[in-house]
Amino acid sequence: MPKKPSSPLTHSIGNLPPLLSVNEIQERLNSIFPEAFPDRGILVGIMAARVFYVFLYGGFIEGTGRYLRPSFVYLFTQEQSQKTSNEERVSWSQMAPKAKFRPVGTRWYADTSREPIRDDLMRNQLLRLGIMHKLPGAATTASTPINYLSADFATLFNPDLHGDGLERLINDWRLKHLDQATMQRMALKAQGIHAKDGDILIDMPDGTRIRISGGPSSNIVKGLIEDFATRHLNKPAVLWLSASDKKTYPQFVELAESVGLKFNPSKELPDLIFADMIDPVSFLFCEVVATDGAVTKPRKEALLELVKASNIPEQSVKFLSAFEDRESQAFRKNFSQLDVDTLVWFRTEPNLLVVLSTAVIEELDPNR
């Protein structure tokens, strides 16, 4: 049985926390999970606000010895939500576990909402993030009440918290409970969301620095050169860069020719070309996708013509589509059109590299 933590939320009568309204809970959720938070949509919606309301309404919080099952939420009614005295809340929490109990009034949700509440939100998000826990050893599919809200997270809904004090607690919760990858992705998304208008400076692999105009595409270009190249290439060199305000940089043409890649700058070229200066040299053609322009099959075939004209072996060349984030509209729009045997990369997750491969499993597994 989980140990009862000390919490400023609990009080003597029924051991129930003070209660915010559903709308106030939703406002808090928007502060806890700002626009830069990965996969935030389901965490800040009205369904999430109602789920947390029921957790708090019945005091199903770490250390209280009370546990919730998803049916408590989708059987909850609008009328019950208005009964906010301690006596009414205690009475409901005592009756809710009984199989045939139904609160009086109009239900918030029909039975068809079970899976979004139970699976999409509670199991796939709240449990994964450590916001919700279940009794140790209990099966995830148990029909008995097994779920409870983290005491640290419940504290964020104390009605007495406001302003800087609330923000400090929210930041403390993030630092304590979110993994490094989530924090990194959140920070990188925030850079793109809050990027100011103006030029962007990019540190090139050779130690020089170039300036390009700001914008969504420019943020991805900067990420490719500064983050992707250092993580996924051995000895990266930029052979070609096309920015929104400047289609050609003459210094790259000369460098490209030095490693055998010949092209006409007036022709349609990829947004970025890398060379990995190993032996033999390999090439990576990158398309930056802020809205459109991913490596589709026709696009890949067109770029291969450039490769053939340079007498470069096709096996030395790879193709990559770079997006801002897995949640971006551009990625959702273009994913089905991406050509096979190409790569996908996201600025907000620089360590992640997705391979759309036609190889069979045995070919991908080096141990087979």
pLDDT band at 360 (very low <50, low <70, confident <90, very high): low
Look at the alpha carbons of 203, 208, 211, 216 in this order and tell me if their dihedral is positive or negative.
Answer: negative
Identify whether residues 79 and 141 lie together within a single domain. Answer: yes
pLDDT band at 189 (very low <50, low <70, confident <90, very high): low
Of 25, 45, 358, 344, the residue nearest 161 (C-alpha) = 25
Residue 332 belongs to what domain range?
199-364
Residue 271 maps to which CATH number? Answer: 3.40.1350.80
Identify whether residues 158 and 207 lie together within a single domain. Answer: no
* Coil vs helix vs strand at 97: coil
Identify whether residues 174 and 207 lie together within a single domain. Answer: no
Residue 142 maps to which CATH number? Answer: 1.10.10
Q: Which segment of 63-72, 74-83, 355-364 scores lowest on mean pLDDT? A: 355-364
- Using CA atoms, how far residue 159 sits from 19, 92, 171, in Å, is 7, 22, 17
> Do the domain assignments include residue 259?
yes
Instruction: Outline where the chain has alpha helix (H).
Output: 22-32, 46-57, 71-74, 78-81, 86-95, 114-115, 151-155, 163-177, 180-193, 216-223, 229-232, 250-258, 297-309, 329-334, 361-364
Among the candidates 178, 213, 235, a domain finishes at 178
> Do the domain assignments include residue 347?
yes
* Coil vs helix vs strand at 83: coil
In this predicted model, which residue has the larger pLDDT, 6 or 80?
A: 80
Tokens of residue 7, six digits:
């919490």
Identify whether residues 249 and 151 lie together within a single domain. Answer: no
- Residue range 312-339: average pLDDT? 94
Enumerate the β-bridge partners of residue 250: none
Among the candidates 178, 208, 237, a domain finishes at 178
Instruction: Say what the pTM is.
Output: 0.59
Q: How many C-alpha atoms does 218 have within 13 Å on its Cβ side?
A: 22
| 118/182 Cα distance (integer angstroms) | 23
Question: How confident is the model at residue 132, as a pLDDT?
Answer: 95
Identify whether residues 158 and 224 lie together within a single domain. Answer: no
Question: What are the tens digits of pLDDT across the range 246-290?
Answer: 556 656 766 777 777 777 666 778 899 999 988 888 999 999 999
Identify whether residues 274 and 315 lie together within a single domain. Answer: yes
Question: What are the tens digits of pLDDT across the range 47-66?
Answer: 999 999 999 999 999 999 99
Question: How confident is the model at residue 158, as a pLDDT?
Answer: 95
Question: How confident is the model at residue 279, as a pLDDT?
Answer: 87
| pLDDT at residue 105 is higher than 70 | yes
Length of the chain, please? 368
Identify whether residues 92 and 153 lie together within a single domain. Answer: yes
Residue tagged 């930041």 (tokens): 171
Tokens of residue 174, six digits:
């993030």
Identify whether residues 248 and 312 lie together within a single domain. Answer: yes
Tokens of residue 198, six digits:
């103006």
Among the candidates 147, 178, 209, a domain finishes at 178
Q: How many domains does the chain divide into?
A: 2
Identify whether residues 162 and 309 lie together within a single domain. Answer: no
Identify whether residues 163 and 205 lie together within a single domain. Answer: no
Identify whether residues 150 and 259 lie together within a single domain. Answer: no
- Residue range 157-172: average pLDDT? 92
| 108/127 Cα distance (integer angstroms) | 22
| pLDDT at residue 3 is higher than 50 | no
| 95/75 Cα distance (integer angstroms) | 12
Q: Tell me if 273 sits within 8 A of 221, measured CB to CB.
A: no
> Do the domain assignments include residue 145?
yes
> Do the domain assignments include residue 127?
yes
Identify whether residues 125 and 81 lie together within a single domain. Answer: yes
In this predicted model, which residue has the larger pLDDT, 361 or 67?
A: 67
